[in-house]
Amino acid sequence: MKILGIETSCDETAAAIVENGNQILSNVVVSQIDIFAEYGGVIPEVAARSHLETILPVIHKSLRDAKLDFEDIDAIAVTHTPGLTGSLLIGTLTARTLAILKRKPLYAVHHLKSHIYANWLSADNPPHFPLLALVVSGGHTQIIYMREHNHFEIIGTTRDDAVGECFDKVAKILGLPYPGGPAIDQTAQNGNPKRYPLPHPKVSNLDFSFSGLKTAVLRTIQAELGLSIKTPSFELKNHLSTQQIADFAASFQNTACDILLEKLSLALQSHPNIQSIVLAGGVSANQTLRTKTQSIFSKQYQIYFPEPRFSGDNGAMVAAAAYFESLTHTPPTNPYTLSIAPRTPIH
């Protein structure tokens, strides 16, 4: 079954064709990073306009790269929640129109399911159930229990900022470029992760909190520089040396990863039959997170990370998620009535 997957939930315009949920026939991603690097973050109206200009050329390229025509495609899949309203609208309206015109079944896919199913792309030995997925992206931080395909139970979630958002905000304080996650990952390689000890939040059960960590970094920088806590965060980068920036990046990254993995350990204790651990979402590209996950858990569990090209937003993961929906007999959606939703929990 060949599925065209379309993704426009944030600032990547993407389309891909995937056969049977894991063979990549094409994968086209046009990122708007260059546009938003100038502003230091995504501007929703600009993102939607850019998707509008790019979406059709991206879909055509995905067909050309796969050497296929529309007639060869069995279904279309699109992200319809969660994400930026204007961005989601461009992808879903395009997919609805194509599904009607080309008479194809249409699957409406939840973005976090797609991130999880990125782990099935090109996998010779896919994850085994039951599994725990640690979903770490710009908008979400969740631990999700999957008993089988298409069964998702949120067992832990963030009470405030997502971990990716925290990487982005700390990067901004340190004067690193947008997007902050990859910049921290790279800068931290030259830093000492033990130089600035940072607190772990005290949150009961399996939930997370990341807003305190961002503030702790801010206060530690102010103290290190001998500046008042009233010094605005945007001024601090001008006073930091290159080595201090690297040490703050490494200390923050190390703490953020430890917080995530401590909760994952707790979740594993309360779910004794888990076979696999799956990392998903943009932050799953983080080198320290990958290394620490392997070193702590690989003796007991199979560990999965998406290929780096599938850890951020892409259309292939949308096609994969739709394939597994079709396998479990989830009916396609009505292209005349499909609507978007900026926020819907995975279910």
Residues within the interface to ligand KG4 (CB under 6 A): 10, 115, 137-139, 164, 167-168, 179-182, 185, 281-283, 285-286, 312-313
Residue 125: both structure tokens together: 């030995």
How far apart, in whole angstroms, are the C-alpha atoms of residue 10 and residue 83?
6
Give the shortest CB-330-to-ligand KG4 separation in angstroms.
Answer: 22
Q: How far is CA 78 from the centre of its chain?
A: 16
CB 66 within 8 A of CB 16: no
Give the shortest CB-275-to-ligand KG4 separation in angstroms.
Answer: 24
Q: Are strands 23-31 and 276-280 parallel, antiparallel or unpaired?
A: unpaired
Give the shortest CB-206-to-ligand KG4 separation in angstroms.
Answer: 21
Give the shortest CB-289-to-ligand KG4 separation in angstroms.
Answer: 7
286 binds, among ligand KG4, Zn ion, none (CB under 5 to 8 A by kind): ligand KG4
Q: Given the structure tokens 């850890």, which residue do they identify?
A: 311
Give the shortest CB-149-to-ligand KG4 separation in angstroms.
Answer: 21
CB 324 within 8 A of CB 107: no
168 binds, among Zn ion, ligand KG4, none (CB under 5 to 8 A by kind): ligand KG4
Q: Which is nearer to Zn ion, 26 or 137 (CB)?
A: 137
Of 33, 283, 317, nearest in space to 161 by CA:
283
Based on the shown chain and the rule CB under 5 A, indicate whether residue 313 belongs to the binding site for Zn ion: yes
Out of 94, 137, 254, 288, point to the residue binding Zn ion (CB under 5 A).
Answer: 137
How far apart, in whole angstroms, are the C-alpha atoms of residue 331 and residue 62?
25
Q: Return the range that interacts with Zn ion (CB under 5 A); candidates 96-104, 136-144, 147-155, 265-273.
A: 136-144
CB 149 within 8 A of CB 296: no
Q: Which is nearer to ligand KG4, 10 or 321 (CB)?
A: 10
208 binds, among ligand KG4, Zn ion, none (CB under 5 to 8 A by kind): none
CB 185 within 8 A of CB 243: no
Specify the amino acid at residue 246.
A
Based on the shown chain and the rule CB under 5 A, indicate whether residue 12 belongs to the binding site for Zn ion: no
Give the shortest CB-282-to-Zn ion separation in angstroms.
Answer: 6
Q: Which is nearer to ligand KG4, 81 or 220 (CB)?
A: 81
Exposure b/e, 102-138, CB count within 10 A at least 16 = b:
eebbbbbbbbbbbbbbbbbbbeeebbeebbbbbbbbb
Q: Which is nearer to ligand KG4, 42 or 98 (CB)?
A: 42
127 binds, among ligand KG4, Zn ion, none (CB under 5 to 8 A by kind): none
Site string for Zn ion, 262-301 (x = CB under 5 A): ----------------------------------------
Q: 278: which DSSP letter?
A: E
CB 249 within 8 A of CB 174: yes
Helices and strands: H and E segment counts in the chain = 12, 10
- What residue is closest to Zn ion based on CB? 313
Give the shortest CB-288-to-ligand KG4 separation in angstroms.
Answer: 8
Q: Which residues bind Zn ion (CB under 5 A)?
A: 137, 313
